[in-house]
Chain A
């Protein structure tokens, strides 16, 4: 995923017309963007997973799968801020434009493509998407820091007292039990340390935990 709004974008062009796709692709690459061209819309989702585009240009009229159907399936997986979709339509297809906007298209451009307008709209949508991701990341960090502060207050302080008490108990018990207790205390101390370092991070990274669950990646 692009990390800078002004950087080169990865744009997926889904259009059955080799001619129109070539025109767009050449113009966009000339402006410093990367493109991938897909003629058969039925492969859209797997190509999106593989290519991870910043934005999609989607033709509304195609023979096998309509632009509308592709848009619906894209929106089941990505919202308008995660993956902007700009429809490419004919000027006469006004009802298609309205329907596409209802279904979650971010914007549209008409054929014949006016490159100046197309590039402006692409840049606008990419910037909105980038800023939204940045905002969401900041909110994520703020929420996590609040969680760590809560942890420190509710768990870490009583745990420190417990560790101190356990040290005292260790003096009055058998050597083997004292070693076991010592080992447990070391593990607890490590966890405390790991969680403390998380509060110093500016970005939260996640790992897969179970099928639909994520866990915070600890360094």
Chain B
């Protein structure tokens, strides 16, 4: 699979930077495929941890859980999810929870879009 095989009109291109992603994995498509599968399996649990931290107003846990999610998201070059996770991490660090629920919902939506795009990409890698 090369960057040319990932059709430009597929939804994955709009949400994640496929070219950069494939370039970053240096042609190791099998590794990229495994990592996408891991993200699809892990990200709901990571988001749940962030959600619980917001509900409990646990700032330290919010900082750590959002940091982990931000790190995972950053590998797929999706700016929107990355910025939302980073904002939640900073809120945890500064112990501010203002509008955390709203940000969390936006992150949820953004991650869903990202998962759809990654599913499409994974199919093209198989």
Contacts and interface: CB of A to CB of B under 8 A. Distances in A.
Interface in A80-112: 90, 111-112
B31 A30 contact: yes
B26 interface: yes
Q: Taking chain A's interface residues, is the majority helix, strand, or loop, or is none over half, making it mixed?
A: helix
Contacts, number: 52
Q: In the complex, which range does the number of interface residues on chain B fall in? A: 20 to 34
Interface stretch (A17-25, A67-75, A166-174, A186-194): A17-25
A33 interface: no
Interface in B1-57: 24-26, 28, 30-31, 34-35, 38-39, 42, 46
B68 A27 contact: no
Contact of B68 (A17, A113, A116): A17
Contacts of A23: 31, 35, 38, 75
Interface residues of A, number: 20
B35 A22 contact: yes
A20 to B, nearest CB: 5
A134 to B, nearest CB: 29
Contact of A16 (B25, B68, B72, B77): B68
A18 to B, nearest CB: 7
Given A112-B77, A115-B26, A20 B34 contact: no
Interface of A: 16-20, 22-23, 26-27, 30, 61, 63, 90, 111-116, 119
Interface of B: 24-26, 28, 30-31, 34-35, 38-39, 42, 46, 64, 67-68, 70-72, 74-75, 77
